[in-house]
Structure 1
Amino acid sequence: MVKQALPVALFIAVLVSALALAGVSISPAVTEILLPPGASYTGEITVQNTSDESVVVEAVVRGFTSPKGVPILLDPSIDNYKYSGREVLTITPNKQRIGPGESVVFNYTVTVPENLDPYGGRYAAAVFKVEPPSASEAQVVVTAQVASLFLLNPGGDAAPHFTFKDFRVWQDVGNPRLIHCDGLIINDGNVHADTEQMYGFMQITDRDGYIVGQMVWHPHTMLPDNSYRHEETWEAPDWLQSGTYYFYMTTIIYRPDGEDPQRYFAVFEEDLQF
């Protein structure tokens, strides 16, 4: 199964910003592939020159990770991310010239090793370095780069698993009715979970068990062996009085093929003063 242009909000936002600076557009920007060990998949990436001058585009492969939801390309000399996919992706040709308004196609092949160690997802980027086709000695050549990201899932025993730590609830200093809640989220599984696989919410009750409000969690796509602090806010209604309230947090991470999802549940007691 191949999914392109995933709703990976932070991934897409970063890529679109980079594309605007580079003067090119790429499609797809993000591709997710379900590919078992020993299998290969081929496809195309289209690069369009949106500027008014010719450019030379060079393609290289990098592994990437994504702490805090922002992709970080890994230089091979320091790439020690155990789920890096730099060895499973190849791009041809390695360089092309693109005239103003023209498009070219780069071909890619993804091959998952038969013996995948450690077992789990692989994360690679086709990086396109963009520069003018020529420059005189007096010119300063500025090279920009953009990337098409690959999220590879080998299936089988690959699954995300979340651990939640250090959750806290507090009132905003400037606006006591603005309630903050944050905590550390860790994907200690062996494959990514995207935003369409997760759902979380927190219901707030009074001491009698009546619901007085709710906040919905919006976690971003998380790669394995990544963590970040996630924060949401809730505006307490004007009629809510000072007192003790209970924050019931529920998070569900869905798995493929109807497998039992991972569930996380916690309760936090908080005295609110308005």
Structure 2
Amino acid sequence: MTLWQSLLLGLVQGLTEFLPVSSSGHLAILKNLLGLKLETGLLFDVILHLGTLLAVFIAFFKDIRKLIAEGCGIVADLVRNLIIFFRNIGGANRSYIRIVRTNYRKFVVLVIVATIPTGVIGYVSRDLVEIVGAGLLVPGICLMITGVLLLIADATGGGRKVPKDVSYTNGFLIGICQGIAVLPGISRSGTTISACLLSGFDRKFAVKFSFIMSIPAILGAAVLEIKDLDKTMFQSQDLINYAVGALVAAVVGYICIKTMLVVVRNKKFKYFSIYCFAVGLIAVIGARFIV
């Protein structure tokens, strides 16, 4: 892979990961059009996603710091409750500590609940994703499906739910939606934000939950991919170009996160919907001529 190809794909990843137009779909289409046959399989995709993950950490640093702190607090309280349990067996009569007692603690648990179905779906569909991403037809069809989802999101007023009001069932179902979005062409952000709005989430929290819940999913995908790679792949000159692509994806991704906050608040998904329909249709037509 050349440097300019890495730069181009990094730019596309940064633009499309957080804008609701499917990064995986665009990358699949570009790889087909550019004729790229990467020896590392999904490695480049994972590295680009790690670049956009950096953008999430920067954009939501204060929230993520609180979530980590509250997550550690949850673990500490679980240990304390375990100690209380054994002491009560010995005759004590102490009350247990309430674990989920703040908005951020509920946020932590919701992310965990959502990650479970995402991880299962992502793991069992790995081979399928590679196969369908090798052509233009499936990404094209999925992009048009994304267009429909975005129209639904614009028509949905949302609600006022913040973490304390969200049920774990909501979190699990949104996690399933995120898992389905591994298909190239199905926008992860568009799908999960639409699911959040349909579940009655506050519009600002819908964006925040969508992006932050992507963190364990992206990290999990990276671990699974990296552990299966031949060590000799890491000595390739391509990795330098991959790193440049990831940096571009991080910078552009940060800008797009800020853009999405405005888009969701002002109900401007319809423009992205039109774009998805157009690109999807072009990909489907192109699938007939590109082998």
- Quickly name the TM-score band, shorter chain normalised: under 0.3
Normalised to the residue count of structure 2, the TM-score between the two structures is 0.22
Relative contact order, higher structure (CA 8 A, sep 6+): 2
Higher share of residues assigned strand: 1
Larger Rg: 1
Normalised to the residue count of structure 1, the TM-score between the two structures is 0.23
Higher share of residues assigned helix: 2
